[in-house]
Amino acid sequence: MSSTIQIQPGPAARLRWLLADSLVLARRNLAHVRQIPEKLIDVTLQPLMFVVLFAYVFGNVIHIPGGSYHAYLLGGIAVQTLVFGLMGPGTAIATDLREGIVDRFRSLPMSRSAYLIGHFAAEMLAAMLAILVLSISGVIIGWSINTDFAHALGGYALLLLLAATMIWIGTFLGVLVRSPDAVQGVVFIVVFPLTFIASAFVPLSGLPSVLRTFGEFNPVSTFAAGVRSLFGNPTAVPHAAPWPLQHAALASVLWCLLLLAVFVPATLAAFRARTAG
């Protein structure tokens, strides 16, 4: 009578397999972009269009204390682009779940976590492309970084942290809904007013009192002010503004960490529940 001894792989081997599987799935997501280049419109042409339109349509009619509207604009456009960026990962994962692609991956000898990691990596690359396009378009309209290297690096780090946060929120939404169209509907209903009733495009002082109060505590206003302060751009923050706007960079990091602490475990639990069986 013989017995078969199965040797379980060690932690290092499991980690290598996880990374290898995740890279394969990330390349699979990027291959879709090569086949359908229109997928990059929301991180290339759309940010460029917003920068040009807002800069030259409103640039001469909106007064920004302490600087020009062009310098003020880019931080708001960057935040708005990244917040709306949750639509991409939400739509992508909702499509894969609806078409049964995730179930096919689960039938393969691969790590269960690889799908979400690969999905996150591909979406982060798209967000980095959007930040690059925004930076170049900002320079074209006259925007510049007016702080030292450390603060400038902090500004880009904050944008990447915000992008990562929005990807997890979008992924959570994509796991919950039953169709990709539902993701777009929810994003426009929730995100659209959040980004416009904020200091992303105009100073809060110009809003009616009720909307101004909402905008002061709107995290989008905090993110925009945090990015502007790290890049040395005008923030137009009133002297009597609440604590999050007075300490926008720190408050932005705290907002992101709080949202990640909520949505990362919620996404993992929802994904396990949705793909169980």
At residue 109, the pLDDT reads: 73
At residue 171, the pLDDT reads: 95
Report whether 84 contacts 191 (CB < 8 A): yes
At residue 135, the pLDDT reads: 94
Q: Using 70 as the pLDDT threshold, list the residues of the chain that sit under it.
A: 1-11, 14, 32-40, 42-43, 277
Tokens 């030292």, residue located: 148
Report whether 210 contacts 38 (CB < 8 A): no
At residue 48, the pLDDT reads: 83
Query: How does DSSP assign 212-225, residue by residue?
Result: HHHHHT-HHHHHHH
For the chain, the first-to-last Cα distance in angstroms comes to 35
At residue 40, the pLDDT reads: 66
At residue 1, the pLDDT reads: 46
Tokens 């609806």, residue located: 98
Q: What would the pLDDT profile of 153-178 be if each residue is shown by its tens digit?
A: 999 999 999 999 999 999 999 999 98
Q: What would the pLDDT profile of 222-249 be if each residue is shown by its tens digit?
A: 999 999 999 999 999 988 899 999 999 9
At residue 277, the pLDDT reads: 61
Q: What would the pLDDT profile of 67-81 be if each residue is shown by its tens digit?
A: 899 999 999 999 999
* SS3 of 114-183: HHHHHHHHHHHHHHHHHHHHHHHHHHHHCCCCCCCHHHHHHHHHHHHHHHHHHHHHHHHHHHHCCCHHHH
Its pTM stands at 0.89
At residue 259, the pLDDT reads: 97
For residue 198, count CB atoms less than 10 angstroms from its CB and return exposed for 0-12, middle for 13-18, buried for 19 or more: buried
At residue 197, the pLDDT reads: 93
